[in-house]
């Protein structure tokens, strides 16, 4: 994969670095590296602990799905081409803006949105 631009993400600073390392690691199936990056994310402080808990739960689910390969799970059944990634991005954006009622949910769907934006950043024009 060739990176063409920095992805739009809800995380910043050191947390962003750890999240990017996590995404790289699960995509490349380096699960021990993904576990380490996930631990780093968990150890970072966040102004909203409920948001962070939702964000971390989503990352844990991505890792579990990547390890299992179960094609019933979104991570494994999603089609990672430009058209579908843009649709997923819009869907997650709408969920966050209109359908989320708790900080936990906002964190959960923000993690998925970040992952989709990360994948979009690697698409070839």
In a domain, 21, yes or no: yes
For residue 44, count CB atoms less than 10 angstroms from its CB and return exposed for 0-12, middle for 13-18, buried for 19 or more: middle
What is the model's pLDDT at position 4? 43
In a domain, 39, yes or no: yes
In a domain, 101, yes or no: yes
Q: Are 118 and 5 in contact (CB under 8 A)?
A: no
Looking at the structure of the chain, the number of domains it has is 1
In a domain, 110, yes or no: yes
Per-residue pLDDT of the chain (125 residues; tens, 9 = 90+): 444 455 677 877 888 999 999 999 999 999 999 999 999 999 988 778 999 999 999 999 999 999 998 888 888 888 888 899 989 988 888 887 886 678 999 899 999 999 999 998 877 55
């Amino acid at each position: 994969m060739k990176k063409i631009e920095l992805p739009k993400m809800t995380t910043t600073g050191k947390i962003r670095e750890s999240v990017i390392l996590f995404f790289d690691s699960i995509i490349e199936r380096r699960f021990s590296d993904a576990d380490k990056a996930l631990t780093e994310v968990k150890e970072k402080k966040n102004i909203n602990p409920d948001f962070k808990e939702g964000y971390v739960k989503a990352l844990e689910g991505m890792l579990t799905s990547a390890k299992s390969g179960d094609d019933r799970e979104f991570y494994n059944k999603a089609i990672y081409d430009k058209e579908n990634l843009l649709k997923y991005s819009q869907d997650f954006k709408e969920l966050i803006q209109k359908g989320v009622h708790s900080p936990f949910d906002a964190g959960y769907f923000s993690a998925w949105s970040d992952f989709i934006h990360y994948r979009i950043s690697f698409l070839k024009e």
